[in-house]
Amino acid sequence: MTRYLSIRLLLTLITFWVIVTAVFFLLRLAPGGPFDGERRLPPEVEQNLRAAYNLDQPLPRQYLNYLLMLGHGDLGPSFKQKDFSVAELVISGLPVSLTVGVMALVMALTGGIVLGTWAGLNTGTKTDLLIMGTANIGLAVPAIVVAPLLALIFAVWLGWLPAGGTGGPLHFLLPATALSLPFIAAIARLTRGSVAETLQEPHITTAMSKGLPRQRIIRRHVLPIALLPVLSYTGPAAAALLTGSVVVEQIFELPGIGRYFVQAALNRDYTLVMGVVIVYAAFILLFNLLVDVCYARLDPRIRLRS
C-alpha cells in the first residue's frame, strides 16, 4: 500500500510539473502581450511596464524565476488586476467555485445514483427507457443553453431565485443545477449498467433465489459493488465539474476563479492564468489521489496485492 501510494504521489507531482511548464511556455507563444490595449502606449512606457513585471528578461530566466517563486508558495502579482496578488484573487474566488462544484457534485451523485439504480433494476422495461431517455436530455442540452434558460425562468419570470452574483446559498442553486444536469445523466448511465451487471453475478442470483428480501439484497450486496465504478468516476467528474464551472460562472456572474481564467487568458495576464491552472490542477490531482486511495481500500484486488 505504501509503495503504491508513493508511486502515485510521485506521478502526481510529475504531472503537476508538466502542466506548469506546458502552460507557462504556451502562454508566451500567444500573439499579443499583456500591455496591448485600445489606447496608445508610447515605447518608453511599455518599456517601463515590461521592466516592472520582469518581462524584459530572457524566457528561460523568467521560467526559472517563476518556478522559484512557486517554490516559495507565491503565485506572483497579477498583470491586470493590479491591486491584488494572484494568491489574493484565488483565495477570494476559490470558495465560490468550490461551493458550486461541491453542490453540483452532490446533486449529480444523488440524482445519478438514484435514477441509475432505478433504471438498472428495471433494465429493458419502459421505466428504464423513460428514465434514461430523460436523463440523457440533461447530457444532450449544453450548459450554454440550460444556464440562461434557468436564469430567465426562475429569476426573471418567476422571481424565485437570484439571477446572478453572490449573497447567500440561494445564489448557488441555479448555477449548481445547470452544472450538475449532464453529470446526473452520466452517473445514471454508469450506475444503471453497473447495477444491471451486478444483478447477474452468481452470488446475487443465489441470494435472490433463496428468497431474501429484495430491498435488503440491493442495499447490502448490489449497491456496494455496483457503485465502485461510480466512485472511480468521481475523480474525472470533479475535474469536469470544476472546469465546467467556467461557463456557469460567466453566465451567472459568480465571482469564482473560473471567471478569471477566460478573462485572464484573453488579457494575456500570464501570472493569473498560471495561478488558476495551478489551483485547478492541484485540486483535481489531489482529489484523484484521494479517490484512488479510497478505491484501493475498497477494491479487494488492489487490497490483496499489497
Partner 1 sequence: MNSRWLREALFGSSLARVCSTWLALMVLAALAGPALSPWDPQAINWDALDNPPSSSHWLGTDMIGRDLLTRIMLGARISLSVALIATAVSVVIGIPYGTLAGYLGGRADQLMMRIVDSLYALPFILIVILLVVVFGRSQLLLFAALGAVFWLDIARIVRGQTLRIRESDYIAAARIQGAGPTRILIRHLIPNVLGPAVVYATLTVPGVILAESFISFLGLGVQEPDTSWGVLIADGAQNMESAPWALVFPALALAATVWSLNMLGDRLRDQLDVQAARV
Partner 2 sequence: MSPSRKRVDCNRTSLRQRAVALAIVIFSLCASAASVAQPGTVLRLGNPGEPQTLDPHRYNLRLEETLLTDLFIGLTTFAADGSTIPGVASSWQVSDDGLRWTFNLRPDLTWSDGQPLTADDFVFAYQRLQAPATAASLAYFMYPLKNAAAVNAGKMPVEALGVSAPDSRTLILELEQPYPHLLERLLYPTAYPLPKHAIETHGDSWVKAENWVSNGAYRLQEWRPQAYVHLVANAHFNPAPAITEVFYYPLANEQTAYNRYRAGEVDAIATFPSGELDYARRELTADLRTSVQLSIMYLVFNSRVEPFSDARVREALAMMMQPEVLTDKVQRSGNVASRSFVPAMVSDYQSVPGPQYQLDLAERLSRGKALLAEAGFSPDRPLEITLRYISGAEAKRTALTIAAFWKPLGVKTQLHQAELKVHFADLRQGDFQVAQAGWIGENNAEHYLSLLVSDTGDVNYGGFADDQFDAMMASARQEADLDERNRLLRVADERAVGLYPVVPMYSLGVRRLVNPKLRGWNNTPRDVHPVRFLSLEP
* Site of interaction with partner 1 (CB under 8 A): 7-8, 11-12, 14-15, 19, 22-23, 26-27, 29-31, 129, 132-133, 136-137, 139-145, 148-149, 152, 182, 189, 235-236, 239-240, 242-244, 246-247, 250, 261-262, 265-266, 273, 276-277, 280-281, 284-285, 287-288, 292
Q: Please choose which of partner 1, partner 2, none residue 144 contacts, taking the beta carbon within 5 to 8 angstroms, the exact cut-off set by kind.
A: partner 1
For 277, other C-beta atoms within 10 Å of its C-beta total 21
Q: Which entry of partner 2, partner 1, none binds 143, CB below 5 to 8 A by partner kind?
A: partner 1
Q: How far is the CB of 11 from partner 1 (least distance, A)?
A: 5
Report residue 206 as a C-alpha cell. 443465489
Give whichever of 85 and 250 is closer to partner 1, judged by the CB atom. 250
Return d(Cα 230, Cα 190) in angstroms, integer. 7
- Residues 222 and 120: their CA atoms lie apart, in Å, by 11
Q: Measured between alpha carbons, how far apart are the two ends of the chain, in Å?
A: 5
Q: Which is nearer to partner 2, 32 or 224 (CB)?
A: 32
Instruction: Select the binding partner of residue 63 from partner 1, partner 2, none (C-beta < 5 to 8 A, by kind).
Output: none
Select the binding partner of residue 246 from partner 2, partner 1, none (C-beta < 5 to 8 A, by kind).
partner 1
Closest to partner 1 by CB, 10 vs 212, is: 10
Residue 93's alpha-carbon distances to 104, 105, 256, in angstroms, are 17, 18, 4
Q: Which residues contact 25 (CB under 8 A, 6 or more apart)?
A: 59, 63
Q: Which residues bind partner 2 (CB under 8 A)?
A: 31-33, 35-42, 44-45, 48-49, 51-52, 80-84, 88-89, 92-93, 148, 151-152, 155-156, 159-171, 250-256, 259-260, 263, 266-268
Comparing CA positions, the residue from 182, 261, 195 lying closest to residue 225 is 195
Quote the CA–CA distance of 5 and 3 in Å, as a whole number: 5
To partner 1, the closest distance from the beta carbon of 221 in angstroms equals: 22
Question: Among residues 1 and 14, whose Cβ is nearest to partner 1?
Answer: 14
The listed partner (partner 2, partner 1, none) that binds 231, CB under 5 to 8 Å by sort, is: none
Per partner kind, with CB cut-offs from 5 to 8 A, the member of partner 1, partner 2, none near residue 278 is: none
Over its C-alpha atoms, the chain yields an Rg (Å, rounded) of: 24
Decide whether 157 or 210 has the Cβ nearer to partner 1: 157
Minimum distance of partner 2 from residue 72's CB (angstroms): 19
Instruction: At 53, give phi and psi (nearest 5°).
Output: -105, 20
* Neighbouring residues of 53: CB distance < 8 A, sequence distance ≥ 6: 34, 77, 79
Q: Kindly state the smallest distance separating residue 87's Cβ from partner 2, in Å.
A: 12
- Give least dist CB 286 to partner 1, A: 9
Q: How far is the CB of 107 from partner 1 (least distance, A)?
A: 19
- Buried (b) or exposed (e) across 232-268, using 16+ Cβ within 10 A? bbbbebbbbbbebbbbbbbbbebebbbbbbebbbebb
In the complex with partner 2, the residue whose CB is nearer, 64 or 145, is: 145
Report yes or no: 35 and 41 within 8 Å, Cβ to Cβ: yes
Least distance in angstroms from the C-beta of 256 to partner 1? 13
C-alpha cell at 165: 452574483
